[in-house]
Amino acid sequence: MKKKVLFVMPNLENGGIQSAFLNLINEIKDNPKLDIDVLIFDTDDAQKLPDNINLLPASKGLRLLTTNQKTIENESKLLGFVRLVLGGITKLIADYLAYDLVFLFEKKLTGYDAAISFSQSGTNHSLYGGMNEFVLSKVDAKIKATVLHCDYSLCGIDTIYSSEVYQHFDKVCAVSEGVRDVFLSRVPECRDKTYVLHNCQDFCKMAELSAVDTVEYERNVINILTVARVSKEKGHLRALDALYRLKEEGFKFCWHVVGGGDGIQELAAKVEEYNMSRNVILYGDTDNPYRYYVNADMLLVPSYHEAAPMVFGEAEYFRIPIVATKTTSTEELVTDRNMGIVTENTGEALYTGLRYMMENPNIIMQIKNLDREMPSNKQALEEFYKVIEGENQ
């Protein structure tokens, strides 16, 4: 008998959570023992789903919870006003009241063996999310699970309310051991039902797209790659500060920054201020980041906080050494896998780590040439099936 599984997502825009979700879906889509439904609050990018996955219709109310004010206003002045009211409630009181109001008009989804909220909500006073609350209040399922993709203590959701929400789930799935450990340090009540569910990678997609218009870099410099949304927590500005010092010391490099975001203009202005336009290239958003990996010398991840970023797995696949600041999963995903060096989470330590790698290019080659098994999704899939089967892990 087939297991009926529901996934609830905010959207399918470019991003780590969305990539992890689509990678998992593509791994399980042809399993004859599963009947998969997906509910996406904002369906603009729903065409990214495989054809054999059942997409449930989402109401305009759900879209209000994951789409920005300007976009909603352009679509409908009335809905723009409604979202403005919900945003006011969120800022003055709390986001869960806005969720409750929207969910009053949503029908209950029934008959599932497992329902999985695949993304945590936004911070307490921002109108973004509601996936956890929807699964808990509007879905009838034998197992209700949620996936945690962030450092719980630093991403703005470490509140009494969030703790209570997570305690209502049957299973909490953290995307790494480090993410699990941080979460349990803040919500120890969930110790007996919190497990690790590693992200899946799409290795076939990586191989295929990396061969399309592969980026060729200048070979007489060290080519450093960063693939991430440009925003404060990702640490681009402090990385630029460190690289400016190295440039002034005479090191030859080019930093290739792939990704857009709210911070792109500030970063571009600082590149101009430092007169580093020959040392830093900002590519913006792309649907094919893999073509930038092939000829890169190292991956730079200068984040202030992270969960288990997809780029660690991508770098492992392409055998690109990593320089990363210490966050929740770096020991597990970088150090333990001999994928590079992890620095303390400061600008000065980041500078020291980058300088060390630039002074020792032999280490870059050693990491690239290490005899290692090709990465696979076997462990992640075993973990997933245990979640929906109700097994302890």
How far apart, in whole angstroms, are the C-alpha atoms of residue 100 and residue 67?
A: 17
Round the average pLDDT of the chain to a whole number and report it: 93
**pLDDT score of 392:** 59
The Cα-based distances of 112 to 22, 38, 173 in angstroms read 20, 12, 18
Residue 356: HSE in the Cβ half-sphere, 13 Å Cα cutoff = 15
Identify which of 121, 127, 116, 124 has the alpha carbon closest to the alpha carbon of residue 150. 121
Residue 307 · residue 330 · CB < 8 Å: no
**pLDDT score of 313:** 93
Query: Which pTM does this prediction carry?
Result: 0.89
What are the CB-based long-range contacts (under 8 Å, 24+) for 201-209? 201/23, 201/310, 201/313, 201/314, 201/317, 201/375, 201/377, 202/19, 202/22, 202/23, 202/26, 203/317, 203/374, 203/375, 203/376, 203/377, 205/290, 206/290, 206/314, 206/317, 206/318, 209/288, 209/290, 209/291
pLDDT (tens digit per residue) in 288-322 = 999 999 999 999 999 999 989 999 999 999 999 99
pLDDT (tens digit per residue) in 167-211 = 999 999 999 999 999 999 999 999 999 999 999 999 999 999 999
Region 278-296 average pLDDT: 95
**pLDDT score of 391:** 62
Question: Where does the chain show beta strands of DSSP type E?
Answer: 3-9, 34-40, 54-56, 109-117, 139-148, 171-174, 194-196, 222-227, 253-258, 280-284, 298-301, 322-325, 340-343
The structural domains of the chain, ordered by start, are 3-200+377-389 (3.40.50.2000), 215-369 (3.40.50.2000)
Residue 300 · residue 312 · CB < 8 Å: no
Query: Residue 162 pLDDT > 90, yes or no?
Result: yes
What does the block give as tokens for 171? 């299973």
Q: Which amino acid is at 116?
A: I
Residue 290 · residue 210 · CB < 8 Å: yes
pLDDT (tens digit per residue) in 84-108 = 998 888 888 877 888 999 999 999 9
Query: Residue 377 pLDDT > 90, yes or no?
Result: yes
How far apart, in whole angstroms, are the C-alpha atoms of residue 197 and residue 172?
A: 9
pLDDT (tens digit per residue) in 4-41 = 999 999 999 878 899 999 999 999 999 999 999 999 99
Confidence band of 73 (pLDDT split at 50, 70, 90) = very high
Query: Residue 123 pLDDT > 80, yes or no?
Result: no
Query: Residue 393 pLDDT > 70, yes or no?
Result: no
